[in-house]
Amino acid sequence: MKKYILTGILAVSTLTISYAQTMKSSYFMEGSFYRHQLNPAFGNERSYFSLPVLGNLNAGIESNMGLSTFIYPSSNPKYDLTTFLDPQISSSEFMKKLKTNNKIGMNVNMQILSVGFKAGKGYATVDLGIRNQMAATLPKDLFGFVKNGMNIDGTTNYKLSNFGMDMASFAELAVGFSRNIVNDKIRIGAKAKVLVGAAYANINYKDMDIDLSGDQWKIKANGQVHMAVPSLEFDTKEHNGKQQIVGVKTGGDIAPAGMGLAFDLGATYEVIEDLEVSLSVLDLGFIKWNNLAKGTAESDYTFDGFNEIAFDEDNPDYDNNNIDAQIENLTDDLKEAFLIYSDEETTSMSKALAATLNIGASYKMPFYKGLSFAFLSSTRIAGKQSVSEGRFYANVAPTNWFEASVNYAISSYGSSLGWMLNFHPRGFNLFFGTDSQIFKVSPQFIPVKRINTNICMGINFPIGKKLR
């Protein structure tokens, strides 16, 4: 049983994503063309247009777990490594590496087209992009069940609740404007975004009770599944008087899975010369998912052990009762234990985006204006997937066409080192960097400690003279 549950955990872990759009490393870089996506009050130094698709490409993964959470040096001289399931690895050693809620996510966001230009007394931007968002939360007790199983005596009970996965993919058309007010000391900005949903899926187990004893194992679970994908429908078969979901099939209508609206708001304030503070709230909005297919995840399973195992090949019931056959029957039973049933009627649901609150402060050194130090507090508000982060920056701009940032963050996912290089001479812009640098990976390039990294790059084309 542990094998199949562990496989399910790893499957969910590889299919989950988070909510990043533009690197935080660029927040205080005045030559970065996309920092208006972190605060719509920021105006760029020049008008620009992006190279289609490659203007701002961002991909990454973040988690408070890593390879070292599950892989350990082996005490067996024949092997170098072993897993957390090895009896030689104590439960306390493994469990202390886990959080109460273990999070893992990933993002792949693509800017299809972006332009920025002077508009009256302000600066306007138009962006078209595709955003993919996934996130999962796995409770600590789930790993405890996989590792520990049951106690030697008595009954062991595991109560798991509110764990699962959430995924959304949508296109975004954003129009923004910013300008100075109050003697140019204050700058405000806003952005309106029309959202077109491409796909949505959610599976969430409200509760799961697992009772283990020497006589039997019992599993009772209750959860819900929601899915909205154009041209796809649940493939079902009748089971116990209900429609069991066995897969998906094509044949539905080709239309947007949902529509939505969101806003970004931002402001900056020059407190004194060279000291600027800033505030932004991003993704204040929702998507209404239409024709949402619903399902119910149910389980009520009891395993009473293997009975009358046939060891003698001459036994007339050997083919049905040998150990291999009984294990195969157990596998089939487990497949039937976790069933998902489809509701016949579809529905619609409005779901809020994961809003982000950014609060920043930057100070340019009086003795060298090309050097600044800064701090950014960033909080993503997303229920169980909420994340808070504090990031410290050192930024340098030795010329008017090149700048760099080195920054260090402490967040819900642990600590990380970020950096960014931005080249922006007249007529061309190239940037690349990361918010979380990986220092140690396995031979398969899997992060050994926390799986927490991203990479961002882009090519854009500044036009005209500097606006400021």
% of the chain with per-residue pLDDT over 70:
77
CB 267 within 8 A of CB 278: yes
Cα angle value 187/463/273 (rounded, 5°): 30
Separation CA 121–CA 112 (nearest Å): 27
Separation CA 83–CA 95 (nearest Å): 13
CB 53 within 8 A of CB 128: no
Cα angle value 70/63/208 (rounded, 5°): 70
Question: In terms of residues, how long is the chain?
Answer: 468
What is the enclosing helix (H) or strand (E) of 453? strand 453-463
The verdict on residue 451 lying in a domain is no
Given the DSSP bridges, would you call strands 242-250 and 81-83 parallel, antiparallel or unpaired? Answer: unpaired
Q: What is the pLDDT of residues 141-157, one digit of tens each?
A: 878 777 776 555 566 77
Q: Which residue has the higher pLDDT, 298 or 337?
A: 298
Q: Is the pLDDT of residue 79 over 70?
A: no
- Total Cβ atoms within 10 A of residue 89: 19
Closest CA to 436 of 454, 421, 423, 422: 454
The verdict on residue 344 lying in a domain is yes
Separation CA 251–CA 243 (nearest Å): 18
In order, the DSSP letters of 197-264 are EEEEEEEEEEEEEEEE-SS-EEEEEEEEEEEE-TTEEEEEEEETTEEEEEEEEE-S--S-SEEEEEEE
Task: Write the single-letter amino acid at 460.
Answer: N
Q: 127 lies in which domain range?
A: 2-64+99-274+282-352
Domain count, the chain: 1
Find all residues with CB under 8 Å of 10, minimum gap 6, and list them: none
The verdict on residue 304 lying in a domain is yes
* Cα dist from 355 to 148, 217, 243, 265, whole Å: 38, 42, 37, 11
The verdict on residue 56 lying in a domain is yes
Q: Is the pLDDT of residue 87 over 90?
A: no
Phi, psi angles (nearest 5°) of residue 448: -75, -40
Q: What is the pLDDT of residues 379-437, one digit of tens each?
A: 988 776 788 999 999 999 999 999 999 999 998 777 889 999 999 998 999 999 999 87
Q: What is the pLDDT of residues 427-463, one digit of tens each?
A: 999 999 999 877 665 555 555 566 677 889 999 999 9
Q: Is the pLDDT of residue 74 over 60?
A: yes
The verdict on residue 137 lying in a domain is yes
Task: Write the single-letter amino acid at 301.
Answer: Y
Find all residues with CB under 8 Å of 188, minimum gap 6, and list them: 41, 178, 179, 181, 266, 267
Given the DSSP bridges, would you call strands 429-434 and 258-272 parallel, antiparallel or unpaired? Answer: unpaired
The verdict on residue 143 lying in a domain is yes
The verdict on residue 460 lying in a domain is no
What average pLDDT does this structure show over 341-357? 83
Separation CA 189–CA 179 (nearest Å): 7
Q: What is the pLDDT of residues 122-145, one digit of tens each?
A: 999 999 999 887 888 888 887 877
pTM comes to 0.77
Burial class (CB in 10 A: 0-12, 13-18, 19+), 223: buried
The verdict on residue 135 lying in a domain is yes
CB 288 within 8 A of CB 349: yes
